[in-house]
Amino acid sequence: MRLFCLLFMFFSMLATNAQELTIGASAPKLLVTDQDGESFDLGESLSSGTTVVFFYPMASTPGCTKQACSLSEGYLELQSMGVEVIGVSGDSAAKQRKFQDKYSLPFTLIADTNLRVNEAFGKKRYKRQAYIFNDGKLVWRDLSAATGNQFTDIITALAGLDLVPLSN
């Protein structure tokens, strides 16, 4: 059974029909489901200001927890810079809610159970990635996002993009 699961994950990683989002691309316009089972307009959320969207394979696993907690620990600094954060995984809304509650994650988590968000970003399901959008356009992407260093990577990217004033 374990071998079957590993093979399924491997072949799922290979399958995607969409092209990767490239720098300058418009934000995907999708209505999705958040951790509360509510409709969330991703396109609207990404249309103005600066927003980080990070993908993690599975809620409450060690690497994904490190990645989300890294952004959670730096969330107040990001907020002071006017930056929003959105997390995405293929987990159900209930699992996303449990993950959010367990680790006190202060940002929206999208339950991408049908993998529409993954497909819109042209990414493979079990790949950890991060993106920065500014006023509806993709301005930065990390196609091999870090786990515990995700916040540091985002701050470094924001500094290089010169989009928002950095706090001291």
Catalytic amino acids?
Answer: 64
Give dist(CA 80, CA 149) in Å, integer: 19
Tell me the sheet residues that pair with 134.
50, 137
**Cβ(67)–Cβ(146) below 8 Å:** yes
Question: Residue 33 carries which side chain, given as an amino acid letter?
Answer: T
Q: Please give the C-alpha separations between residue 51 and each of 37, 118, 135, 168, in angstroms, as whole numbers.
A: 21, 17, 9, 20
